[in-house]
Structure 1
């Protein structure tokens, strides 16, 4: 993988949890979540990030430019019962894909996702999923992601 000049890629560590959370909050703001909604879950999300970074259940990647973190993405390693389509018991869920506005349009999100997919292959993961914003959908489609027929029930929306 060749990054644009001046960019470096590194794995996130526990000390990066606040930065990842700030990127996550900005990502949700970009896709239209209300500030109140974002603030309501930010602290618990940060606690989750710290725990999963420490345990290895979350693998984050960060891109730096000029000594500043300008983009990031992560993979959650999830245990699932093997199936005919996915004989591995570990699957990956990609999330927190974020590029700072001033760095967008350089293919950085695609670079991050390709690096995470390489990590997935190295770990023997054979099924990777994610949820895409409208802005990110083309990036994921170019990388081979396909829509699925997954159904979801969110209790708060269903009135249950």
Structure 2
């Protein structure tokens, strides 16, 4: 029997494992993933503890099979949200491979959108992998014009 529940601090290791698997499946280099692992865990632990990182897990017979993370970001008012200085951010959507194609990711996204709305947010963003793009588009999400570049750190090029 599947059930949906909020993430909790006890999910720290699971969220880290899901995030690493998500990046691995998206084609990231194993060294880059390993380099991120400890800093991400150190970043996540206090945010899980105080609720700044929130989200949901889907359990099946007592075992987590998928999860999603959410953040509330401060952001200047924007044409897409002119009266709100915040936006929701969706991250770390991951479903264990044997449970894919069964509506788990869709239910996590639907509950996440509802939670962001309950918190009074009027706009949300995410970064889509090729695997996730189709689902997001079906749920009404659209590509934006965002671009990115690594910046120099300690005088060394990134």
Same-fold call, TM cutoff 0.5: yes
Contact kept in structure 2, 1:27 and 1:96, CA below 8 Å: yes
Q: Measure how far apart 1:33 and its partner are.
A: 1.1
Q: Measure how far apart 1:85 and its partner are.
A: 2.5
Q: Displaced runs of 4+ in structure 1, greater than 4 A?
A: none
1:47 matched to 2:42? The reply is yes
Q: CA RMSD in A?
A: 1.3
Task: Please give the alpha-carbon distance, in whole angstroms, between the structure 1 residues aligned to 2:22 and 2:148.
Answer: 22
Q: Measure how far apart 1:149 and its partner are.
A: 1.1
- The match for 2:93 is 97
Q: Measure how far apart 1:17 and its partner are.
A: 0.8
Q: Measure how far apart 1:88 and its partner are.
A: 1.4
1:149 matched to 2:149? The reply is no
Contact kept in structure 2, 1:88 and 1:124, CA below 8 Å: no
Could you list the runs of 5+ residues in structure 2 that have no partner in the other structure? Answer: none
Task: Please give the alpha-carbon distance, in whole angstroms, between the structure 1 residues aligned to 2:77 and 2:52.
Answer: 18
* 1:49/1:145 CA distance change after superposition, 3 Å: same
With the length of structure 2 as denominator, give the TM-score of the two structures.
Answer: 0.92
Contact kept in structure 2, 1:92 and 1:128, CA below 8 Å: yes
Task: Please give the alpha-carbon distance, in whole angstroms, between the structure 1 residues aligned to 2:13 and 2:55.
Answer: 12
Contact kept in structure 2, 1:80 and 1:91, CA below 8 Å: yes
Query: Is the deviation greater in 74-83 or in 9-18?
Result: 74-83
Name the count of aligned residue pairs. Answer: 153
Q: Which of 5, 15, 22 is matched with 2:17 structurally? A: 22
Task: Please give the alpha-carbon distance, in whole angstroms, between the structure 2 residues aligned to 1:147 and 1:85.
Answer: 13
